[in-house]
Amino acid sequence: MPASPAPAASAPLAPAAPLLAWYDRHRRLLPFRAPEGGRPEPYQVWLSEVMLQQTTVAAVGPRFARFLARFPDVEALAAAPEAAVMEEWAGLGYYARARNLHACARIVAARGGFPGEAAALRKLPGIGAYTAAAIAAIAFDQPVVPVDGNVERVVARLAAEATPLPAAKPRLVALAEGFMADAAARARPGDFAQALFDLGATLCTPRSPVCALCPWRGACAAQRQGVQETLPRKAPKRARPLRHGVHFLLADAAGRVLLRRRPPRGLLGGMLEIPGTPWREATWEAAEALPFAPLPGLAWRRLPGLARHGFTHFELEMALLAATLPPAAAPAPLPEGMEMRPLAEAEAALPTAMRRLLALAR
Partner DNA sequence: GAGACGTGGAG
Partner DNA sequence: TCTCCAAGTCT
Binding site for DNA (CB under 7 A): 30, 32-33, 48-49, 52-59, 91-96, 100, 125-132, 134, 148-150, 153, 166-167, 194, 197, 200-201, 205-207, 234-235, 237-238, 266-269, 309-313, 351-353
What HEC string does the chain produce? CCCCCCCCCCCCCCCHHHHHHHHHHHCCCCCCCCCCCCCCCHHHHHHHHHHCCCCCHHHHHHHHHHHHHHCCCHHHHHHCCHHHHHHHHCCCCCCHHHHHHHHHHHHHHHHCCCCCCHHHHCCCCCCCHHHHHHHHHHHHCCCCCCCCHHHHHHHHHHCCCCCCECCCHHHHHHHHHHHHHCHHHHHCHHHHHHHHHHHHHHCCCCCCCCHHHCCCHHHCHHHHHCCHHHCCCECCCCCCCEEEEEEEEEECCCCEEEEEECCCCCCCCCCEECCECCCECCCCCHHHHHHHCCCCCCCCEECCCCEEEECCCCEEEEEEEEEECCCCCCCCCCCCCEEEEEHHHHHHHCCHHHHHHHHCCC
> What are the residue numbers of the active site?
49
* Least separation in angstroms between CB 352 and DNA: 3
Of 24 and 255, the one with the shorter C-beta distance to DNA is 24
* Least separation in angstroms between CB 43 and DNA: 15
Instruction: Compute the Cα dihedral for 345, 348, 349, 354 and give only its sign.
Output: positive
* Least separation in angstroms between CB 325 and DNA: 27
* Least separation in angstroms between CB 200 and DNA: 6
State the Cα–Cα distance between residues 38 and 36, nearest whole angstrom. Answer: 5
* Least separation in angstroms between CB 122 and DNA: 8
Of 182 and 198, the one with the shorter C-beta distance to DNA is 198
Of 302 and 308, the one with the shorter C-beta distance to DNA is 308
Of 105 and 323, the one with the shorter C-beta distance to DNA is 105
* Least separation in angstroms between CB 233 and DNA: 9
Of 321 and 350, the one with the shorter C-beta distance to DNA is 350
Of 279 and 300, the one with the shorter C-beta distance to DNA is 279
